[in-house]
Structure formats: C-alpha cells, structure tokens
C-alpha cells in the first residue's frame, strides 16, 4: 500500500507543492528574521548613541578628567552588579592608542555636531583588553565616536537579550517550516490514499465487468468531484453497453427463433421434392415455395444489415440536401395505387419547398416501411394519410391510418428487433421494419413517436432545425 501510495501522481504533486510552499515559507521567514535583526541592531545603536550623548552633554569635550572619572565609576558599578546585561565605557587618547585600528566597522556616520561614529558587532576583547566576561568570544555591539582633541569614546553593550530574541525567532521559524513540511506530506499522503481507494474501487468494478458482470457500476460519492463526474460518464457508457449486449442477446434469440421455422420448412420441402417427378406440378410448387422461403431469409438478413449500417453512421459521407416535398409526392403517387388495390383511401399533404439534409435512400426506406405497415394493418374502406409540414422549430412528417393500432404500453417495445405483437403474427413480416425506421430517424437526429389516432395509429417524425447545411451549395436529391 505504501509503495502504491508513493507511486500515485497526487502524492508526488503534493510532495512537490509541499517543497515549493516550504521554500516560499522559508524565504518569507528569513526575510522576517532579517528585518527583526536589522531593527534590533538599529535600536541597539540608538541606545549606544544615547549613552554617549548623556556622557558628553554632562561634561562636554573639554573636561576630560571629569569624563574619565565618571566612566570609571560606571564601569565599577557594572563590575559589582550581578546583571548579565552591561554597558561598558572607555575614553582613549588617539595619540597613545588608536582603537579604531582593530575595529572592523559595519557602517559609519559623520555629523558635524557630534563627529564621526563607527558601529560594529564583534567580541569586545578584539578591540580592547576586556576580561569581565566569562566568555571572551561573546559578541558585543560597539560604538566608537571620534571626539575633538584626538579623543575616542567607546561605548559597548552585550547582545544577550537581542541574541536570545533572534534565537527564539529562528527556532520558531524552523519549527514552522518543519510543521509545514510534515503537514504537507501528511495531507498529500491522505489525499493520495483517498485517490488510491477510489482508483482501487474503479479497478475492482472494472475487473468484475471484465469477468462478465455487466450490472456493476462505478461508485458515486456525491461530491461532484472529477471522480464522480468520470464515474457518471462511465456508468452511462456501461448502461449503454449493457443495453446493447442485452439487445444483442435478444436479437440472437429472436433470430434463432424466427429463422428456425423457415429453415425447417425449406429442408422439409427439399427433402420431399427429391422423391417427386421434376415434371410434376407438385415439384414445381414445392420449388416455388422453397424459393419464397429463401427470399424471406434474404430479406431478414438484408434488414439486419441495413439496421447495422444505419446505426454505424457509415452513410453520412454521401448526405445531400433532400427535397422532401418531391419525395413525399413520389411516395404518394406510388402508394395511392397500392391503397386503391386494397380499397383504402390514401391522402397526402405537403408544404412546398421542404428541404432536409440527409440520406435520401434511407429516408425513403423509412417512410416506405411506415406506409407498408399502414397498408398492411388497415382494413378495407380504411383511410391512410401522409403529410409533411414545417414550423419555426423544425420539420414534421406524419403517417396516420385507421388500422388496428398499437396499445400504449407496447409502443416502445415495437421498435426493438424481431418484436411482433400478437395481432401481427398472422401477417407476413420479420419484425424489423420499425427497428429500421427508428435507426434512420436517430441517424438524422430526429425523434419518432407513436400516438393514438382515435381509430388506428399516428406516427410522427420530428426533425429539428437546421434542416439544410449552412454555407454549402444546395444540391437536391
């Protein structure tokens, strides 16, 4: 599990971001440390200048003997106190001892009123002979002011409190950086563990699906994150695959059932014919019946092939702008004769100038299947009507009849392959006509619905706009 966690992209990204954030935090805290250090240094320098000003304002530059005595008194008071903090003073004659030679000034100021001032931080015994501190290397903040008459005033103070404050700031800084890194790693580990659990769940579900259980679905936690959105899409895909597999099983079962009878009849007729006289009437009739069975089988396979081709969308390459008005008129002319032979009244109505972008052959085949069903299931003296009209939203083709109709609870079922209602089993057919119509309408982005026609059935095919390709030359078919 730990190795898998370390190999997750989320954990690696968390580690990278943790390091980057820690680097930024370290830079920010170092900046704070530098600002605090500078502020303490300037504050200490101001205190040193104040001590020097107090001494010089009391005695001036001329009364050097009084100044010496006051300095001596102050230093003795410092030696007798137990306070770790100290201020140390020295006055030197530059002719005898130039203490600035052993002094590495960090910066200096030059004021005409008070003279030149040098500031630095270094052990006091490197500048003068100083042995009051136990730790001779302990740094001190030192001010050397150049006085008139070649005198040099030294004022120094320890940095114990300042260094303690800086140490506290530094310790807090490194502690904060350590906590940030640890929390980032912990957060990355928790996030990676959560992602790993989701991925393991997907892998388990995928494994069960691979083993044949198509009912399995990806878990959706309801967080609306990327995993939930991906799971929803995958579940939709799995639902569609399961439906297709179920439809394939049903098609296989129905195909085996519907082909078994004609094949048995064909075999029996051929077997019976082998003992008959080829010149006899019975032999010729059996041959004709066998050929009819073969034709029915061919029609069934052609219908299945046509549906498969339509659903695959291979016909989209040869789509053109179809003159629906002309197509409706051609079909009306053909079925007017067919309906008249069966004593059925046929009517058609079509708006002029209707154009639809699609495959003319498939559209004609779909409408032909609808009209064939209408003629087949409409009794004598019945009525069939074919109409096409366009509105602001799209184009609608309607086929109505006064036949036996379809019950409301069966209207979705009839679009499945090889489905034939009990009322239609006595008539010839293979149950693939409406399946092809459904496939053609879906290929053209249309919707098909079945409604009650009071007496009979009403079929509505609705094509949404745009109906014609834009920025393309009009090519009617």
**Alpha carbons 35 and 20: distance in angstroms, whole number:** 23
Ordered per-residue pLDDT tens for the chain, 477 residues = 566 656 666 667 777 777 787 788 888 888 888 898 899 899 999 999 998 888 888 776 667 788 888 888 888 777 666 555 678 888 888 877 778 777 888 888 888 777 889 999 888 777 776 655 555 567 888 898 888 778 888 898 888 788 888 888 888 888 888 887 788 777 777 777 777 777 778 888 888 888 878 788 888 877 777 778 888 888 888 888 877 777 777 667 666 666 777 778 777 877 777 777 777 777 778 788 788 777 777 777 776 666 666 666 555 667 888 999 999 999 999 999 999 998 999 999 999 999 988 888 888 889 998 999 899 889 998 999 999 999 888 899 999 999 888 888 888 888 876 666 655 444 555 667 788 888 888 888 899 999 988 888 999 999 987 766 544 444 455
Distance CA 429, CA 411 (A): 18
- pLDDT at position 327 is 93
| pLDDT the model gives residue 201 | 81
Q: What is the pLDDT of residue 473?
A: 46
Tens digits of residue pLDDT in 420-436: 665 544 455 566 778 88
Predicted local distance difference test score (pLDDT) of residue 264: 80
| Start-to-end C-alpha separation, the chain | 65
Per-residue confidence (pLDDT) for residue 90, from 0 to 100: 85
- Note whether 159 and 166 are within 8 A (CB): no
According to the model, what pLDDT value does residue 467 have?
Answer: 65
pLDDT at 448: 92
Those residues with Cβ within 8 angstroms of residue 347's Cβ, 6 or more apart along the chain or in another chain: 383, 384, 385, 386
């Amino acid at each position: 599990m730990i190795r898998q966690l370390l190999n997750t992209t989320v954990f690696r990204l968390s580690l990278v971001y943790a390091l980057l954030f820690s680097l930024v935090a370290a830079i920010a805290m170092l900046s704070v440390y530098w600002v605090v250090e500078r502020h303490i240094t300037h504050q200490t320098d101001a205190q040193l200048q104040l001590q020097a000003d107090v001494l010089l304002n009391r005695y001036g530059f001329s009364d050097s003997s009084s100044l010496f005595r006051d300095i001596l008194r102050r230093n003795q008071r410092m030696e007798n106190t137990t306070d770790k903090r100290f201020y140390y003073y020295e006055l030197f004659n530059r002719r005898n001892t130039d203490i600035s030679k052993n002094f590495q000034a960090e910066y200096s100021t030059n004021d005409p009123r008070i003279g030149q001032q040098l500031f630095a931080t270094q052990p006091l015994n490197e500048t003068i002979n100083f042995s009051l501190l136990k730790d001779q290397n302990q740094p001190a903040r030192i001010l050397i002011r150049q006085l008139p008459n070649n005198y040099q005033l030294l004022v120094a103070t320890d940095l114990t409190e300042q260094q303690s404050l800086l140490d506290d700031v530094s310790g807090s800084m490194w502690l904060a950086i350590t906590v940030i890194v640890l929390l980032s790693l912990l957060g990355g580990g928790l996030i990676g563990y959560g992602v790993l659990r989701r991925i393991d769940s997907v892998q388990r579900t995928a494994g069960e699906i691979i083993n044949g259980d198509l009912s399995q679905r990806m878990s959706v936690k309801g967080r609306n994150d990327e995993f939930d959105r991906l799971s929803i899409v995958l579940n939709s895909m799995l639902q569609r695959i399961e439906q297709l597999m179920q439809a394939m099983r049903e098609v296989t079962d129905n195909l085996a059932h519907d082909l078994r009878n004609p094949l048995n009849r064909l075999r029996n007729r051929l077997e019976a014919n082998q003992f008959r006289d080829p010149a006899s009437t019975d032999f010729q009739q059996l041959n004709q019946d066998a050929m009819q069975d073969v034709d029915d089988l061919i029609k069934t396979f052609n219908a299945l092939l046509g549906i498969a081709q339509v659903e695959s969308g291979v016909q989209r390459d040869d789509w053109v702008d179809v003159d629906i008005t002309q197509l409706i008129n051609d079909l009306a002319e053909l079925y007017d004769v067919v309906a008249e032979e069966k004593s059925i009244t046929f009517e058609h109505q079509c708006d002029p100038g209707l154009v639809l972008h699609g495959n003319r052959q498939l559209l004609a085949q779909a409408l032909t299947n609808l009209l064939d069903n209408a003629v087949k299931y409409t009794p004598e003296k019945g009525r069939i009507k074919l109409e096409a009209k366009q509105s602001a939203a799209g184009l609608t083709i309607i086929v109505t009849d006064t036949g036996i109709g379809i019950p409301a609870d069966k209207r979705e079922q009839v679009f499945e392959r090889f489905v034939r209602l009990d009322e239609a089993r006595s008539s010839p057919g293979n149950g693939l006509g409406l399946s092809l119509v459904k496939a053609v309408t879906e290929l053209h982005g249309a919707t098909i619905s079945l409604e009650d026609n009071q007496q009979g059935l009403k079929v509505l095919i609705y094509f949404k706009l745009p109906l014609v390709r834009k920025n393309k030359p009009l090519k009617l078919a």
